[in-house]
Amino acid sequence: ALEEARDRELVRSTLDAMVGFALSRAGLGALLADPAGKDLASRLVAFALDRDASGCDDDIQEQALVILARFVQRAGEGLLKPVIFSTLRGSKTLAEAFHTALSNPEENLRCAAYECLEVVVRSAWGAAEICTREKLVQRVSDASVEAEPSAASWRHKCACSLLATARSIAEGEAAADARVVEIVTPLVPTLQAAVKAGPYGSGGQARVESEAV
């Protein structure tokens, strides 16, 4: 038990140290240019998205998801994509990894997963990957899956970002091959309806406010 506690603290310390690299693109670029740095980034991806392989608990996965969101946001188009795909290769797809994280009963972990997903789907490659799993798109589009304000808000933010990128793909503004366009375009109406419905669904905010009185 003591050794396990020490391992957890070591992981936490490593994750804390990685936050500094996420503060600037230059720092992140320097990290990924170094083989040891790429290995650290790969471990971060595993903690965030491949829990079966990393063996981490909810708290560590939640922390890793938030840091990964910052990494992807700072990295810009495609810089972190190879690390993510190489880490998950042979285990699960990116969409499967997010779907698993969003199925966790812990609300804080789901919020962290939504936060990370929201950043990923801002890019054409991220949205394309997510749209290959219909169940994940359905979850992001379904207001009934999240009742608590924080999770409901993050789910809706994901829907908004995914819609924006899906539209750009469907309308030819974002570079994507024909297969991706074929997958993404039919999902636009579903995402439009989800965004229009808001975080709680049509009339949902009224019900929440009524219950709070």
pLDDT tens-digit series, residues 104-155: 999 999 999 999 999 999 999 999 999 989 899 999 999 999 999 999 999 9
Please state the separation of Cα 109 from the chain's center in Å: 11
pLDDT in tens, 157-205: 999 999 999 999 999 888 888 989 999 999 999 999 999 999 998 755 5
Nearest to 193 by CA among 140, 123, 120: 140
The residue type found at 102 is L
Most trustworthy range by pLDDT among 1-15, 34-48, 127-141? 127-141
Checking if the pLDDT of 208 tops 60, the result is: no
Residue 144 near residue 201, CB atoms below 8 Å = yes
Question: What pTM value is reported for the model?
Answer: 0.87
Mean pLDDT score of the chain, rounded to an integer? 85
Rounded to a whole number of angstroms, the distance between the first and last alpha carbons of the chain is 46
pLDDT above 60: residue 210: no
- Separation of alpha carbons 116 and 44, rounded Å: 13
Let me know: does 156 contact 121? Beta carbons within 8 Å. Answer: no
Residue 175, pLDDT score: 80
Q: How far apart are CA 94 and CA 49, in angstroms?
A: 8
